[in-house]
Amino acid sequence: MKVNTLDQASVRQYGKALRLPAVVGNFATLAEQAVKENQTHVRYLEALLALECEERDRHAIANRIRDAQLPRLKTIEEFAFAQAPRVPAAKIRELAEGGYIERSEPVIFIGDCGTGKTHLATGLCVAACRQKRRVRFITAAALVNELVDAKQNGQVKRMMARWAKYDLIALDEVGYVPLADIGAEFLFQVISDRAERAALIVTTNLPFSEWTTVFPNPRLCQALLDCITDRAHIIDTGSESYRFRRTIESRRGR
């Protein structure tokens, strides 16, 4: 039994008016299937609404990933743990479940360039987006520049309030560029405001003992380290470049 053409047009019209794209696209097919399988009206409606919810979830996740402004879309599932023996796979997968976000715990990836820090941070951000969290990824230098510009425009308070709304912030490349006093103070403010209130991911190529080369004020540097390492998950990704080894192996395979 097929759904009447006029009825189909009417349903599509109502579906579009109510912004139910999955209903519009699937109601006729599911109706025929329901008749063939002798399903109840309620069962048919449940299946149709389930499709609509799934479609909305997909769109919501896609929007969160877009709003996170990730440098590239990389997931934990794509990370080659076999080529990065220093990275604890079980720990990373545990973090991807999101408990650290609920507990407002920092995650710090520390290691040399090419060891997978940014990929892992990005993967955790994607996992958080899938869990319907508000996420933002940014380099430390870019964040400082935003706040310096906000100061010049008298918008620091508003900018800080906006950053405080994220469930998770990933600060990439902390320590790559030395910061002036004002930049260091802004970075400390963002990090300290999140302490025990919201989650933070940090990637850095510097051991903690060398952070004074980037943060010129020793007391501020110590306060920042105390704040960022408290209750933190500290993961050392090592010194052997994961990217370099992958490139060499791919060339050998040609």
Burial class of 153 by CB neighbour count within 10 A (0 to 12, 13 to 18, 19+): exposed
Q: Choose one of 20, 47, 66: the last residue of a domain.
A: 66
Predicted pLDDT of residue 236:
95
Q: Do residues 103 and 212 both lie within one domain?
A: yes
Residue 208, domain CATH: 3.40.50.300
Quote the number of domains for the chain: 2
Q: Do residues 95 and 124 both lie within one domain?
A: yes
Residue 1 pLDDT class (50, 70, 90 cuts):
very low
pLDDT tens digits for 89-136? 999 999 999 999 999 999 999 999 889 999 999 999 999 999 999 999
Q: Do residues 99 and 200 both lie within one domain?
A: yes
Q: Do residues 18 and 133 both lie within one domain?
A: no
Q: What are the phi and psi torsion angles at 97 (to 5°)? A: -75, -15
Range of the domain at 242: 69-252
| Alpha-carbon gap, residue 186 to 208, rounded angstroms | 19
Q: Mean of the per-residue pLDDT values for the chain? A: 89
Q: Choose one of 48, 66, 84: the last residue of a domain.
A: 66
| Residues 6+ positions from 70 with CB-CB distance below 8 Å | 122, 125, 126, 137
Q: Do residues 157 and 44 both lie within one domain?
A: no
Q: What are the phi and psi torsion angles at 178 (to 5°)? A: -60, 145
Q: Do residues 56 and 75 both lie within one domain?
A: no
pLDDT tens digits for 27-75? 888 888 888 899 898 998 898 899 888 899 999 999 999 999 999 999 9
pLDDT tens digits for 173-220? 998 878 888 888 999 999 999 988 999 999 999 999 998 888 888 899
Strand, helix or coil for residue 57: helix
Q: Do residues 24 and 48 both lie within one domain?
A: yes
Q: Do residues 124 and 58 both lie within one domain?
A: no
Q: What are the phi and psi torsion angles at 65 (to 5°)? A: -65, -40
Predicted pLDDT of residue 27:
87
Per-residue pLDDT for 155 more than 80? yes
Q: Do residues 25 and 123 both lie within one domain?
A: no
Q: Do residues 128 and 244 both lie within one domain?
A: yes
Contacts 24+ apart (CB under 8 A), 23-30: 23/48, 23/49, 23/51, 23/52, 26/51, 27/3, 28/2, 28/3
Q: Do residues 40 and 152 both lie within one domain?
A: no
Q: Do residues 227 and 181 both lie within one domain?
A: yes
Q: Choose one of 25, 46, 66: the last residue of a domain.
A: 66
> Which of 172, 235, 200, 229 is closest to 103 using CA atoms?
200
